Amino acid sequence: MVICRFSLLALASSLIASASLPCLAAPAGRINFTPPLADAKTIQVTETVWEAQNGATPGSVRKAGTITFCIARPDKFWTEMKAGNPAKVTDFYISDGTTMTGYSGGQTRSQPAQRAEWPFPVMGLLNNAPGPVSAVPAVRGGRRVLLAIRVSGASREEYWFDPKTHLLLRSTLSGIWQGKTSEILRTQYTGWILNKPLAPSVFRVPSAGTSHSGASL
C-alpha cells in the first residue's frame, strides 16, 4: 500500500477525534473537555501510521510510515511523509500561505494555498477548531488515558487522550468481518509542541533544484 492513501485516513481520524465523540461507558464516569488545539497558533506533531494489508480479510497491521507536521495558522504548513520502506522517496508538502507545493518522487507540483485539498485536506488541525470530546478514564497499553469510543455499523473507533494535556495519543479504526473484529488502521501521535514560534523559513517554498531534506526548526 502507498502511504499517501492511508495518510488520508490518518488525517480523517484526526478530524474525527476533534469532533464530539459519544462514549460507550457509563455517563457517571464521563469527562468532557476541549483539546488545547483549538487555541494553538502553531502546532507540531508526528503521526506514525500502521495499516492492514489488502486481502479478502485484513491481516495484522504493519507500519506504513510517518507524517510530520509543522503548522502555523491560518494557512502555513510543512509536511514530511516518510514511508515505512526506507527505499521509498520521502514526500514533502509546503505552504507559505500563498502557494502550496508538493515534492513527490522527484516531481514538483504547485497550486494556490486556498485549494489545499490537494493532496489531502490539510488536517483538521489547520483550519478547524477541535470541538468538545466526551471520554472516560481507562487503561490502554499499560497507561492511563481518557478513552473515547465510537461504533458505527461494522466499524469501531477508539481515541486515547492524555489525561493531563488532553492531547491525542492514539487513534484506531477496526472493522468486523465474519463476526471477528480486526484492526484496520492505527495512528500514534508523538512530539506535540504547541505555540512555539516558527521561523518564516520553515514555510518558504524552496527554489528548483533545492534539496528538500527537512525544515529548520
pTM over 0.85: no
List the pLDDT tens digit at each of the 217 positions of the chain. Answer: 333 444 444 444 444 444 455 554 445 588 998 888 878 899 999 989 898 865 545 567 888 889 898 988 888 888 888 887 776 778 888 888 888 888 876 667 666 665 544 444 445 555 555 678 899 999 998 999 999 998 888 888 899 999 999 999 998 988 877 777 888 889 999 999 999 999 999 988 766 555 555 444 4
User: Letter for the amino acid at 23?
Assistant: C
* Contact indicator for 58, 182 with CB cutoff of 8 Å: yes
DSSP 3-state percent helix, strand, coil across the chain (nearest 5): 15, 45, 40
Q: Which amino acid is at 4?
A: C
Domain 3-203 part of CATH 3.40.50.620: no
- pLDDT at 57 (0 to 100): 52
Per-domain residue ranges of the chain: 3-203
Q: Which residues of 110-122 are buried (b: 16+ CB within 10 A; e: fewer)?
A: eeebeebeebbeb
Residue 165: the pLDDT is 94
Cross-strand partners of 70: 44, 78
Structure confidence at residue 146 (pLDDT) = 94
Q: Within a 13 Å sphere around the CA of 183, how many CA atoms are in the beta-carbon half? A: 13
Q: What is the grid cell recorded at 3? A: 502511504
CA atoms within 13 A on the CB side of 19: 11
